[in-house]
Amino acid sequence: MSASSIGIGVIGCGVISAAYLKALRHFPVVSVRALADQDAAAADARAAEFGVPAVPVDALLADPEIQIVLNLTPPAAHVPVGLRVLAAGKHLYGEKPLGVDLAEGRRLVDAAAAGGLRLGSAPDTFLGGGQQTARRAIDQGAIGRPLGGTAFMMVPGHERWHPNPDFYYAARGGGPLLDMGPYYLTALVQMLGPIAAVTAFGGRFRQPRRIQAGPRAGAEIPVDCLTHIAGSLAFAEGAIVQICTSFEVWRHRHGPIEIYGEAGSLVVPDPNRFDGTVELCPPEGEWRAVPSEHGYGDDNYRGLGLADMAEAIRAGRPHRACGALALHVLEVMAGLIRSAEGAGVVTIESRPERPAALAPGQVVGI
């Protein structure tokens, strides 16, 4: 912990909290002061594992040493818990999605603005070495003007590994798009700018699902959301990208993201990871790896966006994984779902700035 580190309190001590508590050790700008969970046993377990005190949620929110709350609760709790955090006068950084619908997301953004507080949101993998290398290639004109692309996130379903996967199939906040879409859409928006319109079809096939891991293995869970959504994204700058997110697909052979430009094609690595190799193919040429000059491509850095927000608070500059970006991504996802439910082409109103790129070798959160 550095003398001027910003105090963090974590609410929600489930599966993903371990990845954050490990990775936050990379960033001296933040120090985790307390953990809380509505299930005290979950907070106690992480407290024992990471040597941070477990406290009740109210005590965490009242702690003057805590300036930012990291909200790692399930999607349906993001906004209710987030509003409590902001009402307590603390900055908020939360897991994705920002909310389970657009109205919720807007409420959170408005509450942060009204309170003069920072609002940040996962994902932050777009700040990792893999995604920053891809962005830099596009910004430097390596493929010329981007025209099109593809994004595929298709898996059988998280009930195969998550001990409490119910929320992935819930009517509010469930489905592959709200779960994994934020990684893909945030990566695309940082490379190509904001999305202007969307259209999609969706389906719900295998149901109910059966939990396959942990103490509840064998239990059935209902499917109350679309589990296969195939859509098209029209970017404000002109590119057109096909996206498919699914909890129905056993295996496939598509890469996560490809971008096609007037002067070449780019293979972009998995946006749910910080690492990965970018590949470039010029017209008439061969594929070659693009060397990465960026940091944060060799490990789990979950919390990089939170560290960037803490640094930004100290420096008085905008932070990258910000509420406006997360709200745009939520508007796009809500638009795709509305379209898949029969609304036709849905216009997207928000036009966030692209977050500032990280410079090659830039270190965050010292």
Ligand X SMILES: NC(=O)c1ccc[n+]([C@@H]2O[C@H](COP(=O)([O-])OP(=O)(O)OC[C@H]3O[C@@H](n4cnc5c(N)ncnc54)[C@H](O)[C@@H]3O)[C@@H](O)[C@H]2O)c1
Question: Where do contacts with ligand X occur on this chain (CB under 6 A)?
Answer: 11-17, 37-39, 42, 57, 72-75, 77, 81, 95, 164, 179
Nearest to 225 by CA among 293, 144, 167, 267: 167
If the CB atoms of residues 94 and 149 are measured against ligand X, the closer one turns out to be: 94
Q: Any idea which residue has 């029209």 for tokens?
A: 234
Quote the least distance from Cβ 181 to ligand X, whole Å. Answer: 11
If the CB atoms of residues 30 and 180 are measured against ligand X, the closer one turns out to be: 180
d(CA 85, CA 88): 5
If the CB atoms of residues 74 and 264 are measured against ligand X, the closer one turns out to be: 74
If one counts every other C-beta atom within 10 angstroms of the C-beta of residue 190, the result is 22
If the CB atoms of residues 235 and 247 are measured against ligand X, the closer one turns out to be: 247
If the CB atoms of residues 31 and 38 are measured against ligand X, the closer one turns out to be: 38
If the CB atoms of residues 124 and 308 are measured against ligand X, the closer one turns out to be: 124
Quote the least distance from Cβ 168 to ligand X, whole Å. Answer: 8
Quote the least distance from Cβ 106 to ligand X, whole Å. Answer: 18
If the CB atoms of residues 14 and 255 are measured against ligand X, the closer one turns out to be: 14
If the CB atoms of residues 77 and 192 are measured against ligand X, the closer one turns out to be: 77
Cβ neighbors of 83 (< 8 A, separation 6 or more) are 107, 108, 111
Quote the least distance from Cβ 18 to ligand X, whole Å. Answer: 9
Quote the least distance from Cβ 345 to ligand X, whole Å. Answer: 28
Cβ neighbors of 292 (< 8 A, separation 6 or more) are 129, 130, 132, 133, 277, 278
Quote the least distance from Cβ 249 to ligand X, whole Å. Answer: 18
Quote the least distance from Cβ 175 to ligand X, whole Å. Answer: 11
Quote the least distance from Cβ 130 to ligand X, whole Å. Answer: 17
Which residue has its beta carbon closest to ligand X?
A: 14
